[in-house]
A and B are shown apart, each in its own frame.
Chain A
């Protein structure tokens, strides 16, 4: 199962009229920044919103509220595994 961890958009770059200068989102998670292409996303995110990424492309924009809900589900899932003393390989 692929885990769709929402990543927060910290900046939007590019996007002049030139088709060869597409908009790119800079996303951040745990201090790591990545440039993510936006051609395939359902709507262009605003800074502070989140995106779900598939193979280097943002495919879905989430509001901060939606993303927090998903992240909370994932955190609880990991906590539950920790409680079961089964952390090795939990999130491989």
Chain B
């Protein structure tokens, strides 16, 4: 008789994930599936509402990464009402966006990911968590908390002390930045960059050295990738072209409004979750890890794979070293953690770049907008991957249609491939021991779903 081992809840993964490992009569793994519960209904819920409310509503519902949804929605509504924010408004939005990336990356790497690698995978659960890190590296753990708080406080100084962001408004930003604020933020930005460089050095010495062993135990998958670049192929988080890379490294680029010509949605019979695949490749959809079709990944590793370079010097040097070692595209699932810290360095450098731009303190922060009929598609690179908001408005500026693709939606298909591979490789005769199950979870945690 077949048996199903369920991992539920998946530790250190947001809320509602479940992994089912199916065993056949002889105890061999016959299949493994990852179920991610996602919210459905937002698209229907917003129909009829004034479009300018959407950036504020979405950040209340998606409170885990509110800034990402807030900004993608604001960009989309700009499109509906055909307005372009003035330079200061755009720079302030991007500054908030990269600061939100910084605190998210610090949280994910040190609190959720690093305990897997700092401690042996078979070490006790009571040790292999953040308190284990606090015991072993008390100075580092305290600094991690301080740095994340610093990035949050910087956000508050720019965007006001709001639990849910409200500062991005249709046509721009709600509050100008003073010269004095800018100087203070520059000083704090340098502290963050210094920490990011030290964090990456620490991870290279103490964390990433474990990757080779773990990666081979997981048996990596081979997929394409999606991320955002500017016209010169530089890594971008806040705006740019979407670039879709096949596993053979060939690329196509398109503007976010054309996403539906390249990406399509898919629902597997065993799941109600929406998946997305690269329909532009004309090869259909298959989760078979040995012969995947249409599957690409988003998130940190994907972004570093698709970009030609990073326009800031310290992150670029790290990217070059990373590429020299792992090639392009790098396929190892756990390399997403390494990529995350390179992105942390980039984000900190980008904060300084944005603050160095004289235009950021410009008094004109918002272009007046009138409600009107239109369609707008806003996209940003969120910590969990490419986030797309797509709205259509009527003559009164109210929503008549909405569609969202969030980072984890792109990654549900490749995560399922990872789970199948890892389960098959690890469980010749599967027993539900903690080490076996944790290894499978590690593959999923790399995506930060």
Contacts and interface: CB of A to CB of B under 8 A. Distances in A.
A and B part of one assembly: yes
B38 interface: yes
Contact of B13 (A55, A91, A92): A55
B382 to A, nearest CB: 11
Nearest to A42: B152
A57 B61 contact: no
A80 B44 contact: yes
Interface in B380-417: 404, 406, 408-409
Nearest to A4: B63
Contacts of A3: 15, 38-39, 61-62
A66 to B, nearest CB: 6
Contact of B138 (A19, A69, A74): A19
A12 interface: no
Contact of A89 (B112, B135, B272): B272
B12 A20 contact: no
Contacts of B145: 39-40
Contacts of A4: 61-64, 66
Contacts of A19: 134, 138
Contacts of A42: 149, 152, 163
Interface string B302-336: 00000000000000000000000000000000000
Contacts of A40: 107, 111, 145, 148
A89 B37 CA distance: 9
B163 A60 contact: yes
Interface string B59-95: 0111111100100000000000000000000000000
Contact of B408 (A2, A70, A73, A86): A2
B130 interface: yes
Interface of B: 11-16, 37-42, 44-45, 57, 60-66, 69, 107, 111-112, 130-131, 134-135, 138, 145, 148-149, 152, 163-164, 272-273, 404, 406, 408-409
Given A1-B406, A55-B111, A73-B60, 8 more contacts: A1-B62, A4-B62, A20-B131, A52-B63, A55-B14, A55-B112, A80-B44, A91-B41
Interface of A: 1-4, 6, 19-20, 22, 37, 39-40, 42, 52-57, 59-62, 66, 69-70, 73-74, 76-78, 80-81, 84, 86, 88-92
In the A-B complex, the 5 residue pairs with the smallest Cβ-Cβ separation, listed nearest first, are A4-B63, A89-B272, A77-B45, A3-B39, A52-B63
